[in-house]
Amino acid sequence: MTDFPRLVKPDGVSEPLAGDDDGNLKVTTGSGGAQLGSDIDFAFGAEDGANTQVVQIITAPETPAQEYAVVIHNPSTYSDLTVKAFAVELTLDGANTRDAFITEWQIPKAQSISGTTIQTYLNLIHGAFMEADLKLVISNNTTLAGAAPAFIATARVRAVTY
């Protein structure tokens, strides 16, 4: 019998990786994981100028995963969105916080490509919630100024399990 290596999960639990009868290593992965809280709304008004920022903070879980999927739904057919992710870090004396930039990405406006409407995008963030909450800052990239209706973009943060 082959002694297979062990996988150590983010929660510290160790389990053997599976092998087939011929001694070949088999690794299976999945993308499902626990969602952190409820879906988060980012509301934009019909009169908002370009780069209007809406900020939401997601509290760190007690046992963070190594990677998180951030799913953003942008129903607007008028404006792309910019998403910035920050770790909310305490200062050394613990009296204040500072935002440590993690990453930034763009969410295109809702559009139909080859007959399929695409308005929801997933981005993976590695290393979020390292002793800090996650701040998401979403801004519209186009001046709405009455030319487009108000809309609510929605974010969902989910732990990625492998």
150: domain CATH number is 2.60.120.1090
**Domain, as residue range, for 73:** 30-159
Does the pLDDT of residue 68 top 70, yes or no?
A: yes
Classify residue 13: in a domain, yes or no.
no
- Kind of pairing, strands 53-58 and 133-140? antiparallel
Q: What is the mean pLDDT of residues 7-11?
A: 50
Q: Which two tokens stand for residue 155?
A: 């974010």
pTM for this entry? 0.76
Q: Measured between alpha carbons, how far is 133 from 136 in angstroms, rounded to an integer?
A: 10
Domain assignment present for 6: no
pLDDT given at position 31? 45
pLDDT at residue 135, rounded to an integer: 95
Q: Is the pLDDT of residue 59 over 50?
A: yes
Q: Is the pLDDT of residue 158 over 90?
A: yes
Q: Of 72, 2, 61, 7, whose CA–CA distance to 34 is shortest? A: 61
- Domain assignment present for residue 8? The answer is no
Indicate if the pLDDT at residue 150 is higher than 80.
Answer: yes
Q: Is residue 111 part of a domain?
A: yes
Look at residue 110 and tell me if it is in a domain.
Answer: yes
**Number of domains making up the chain:** 1
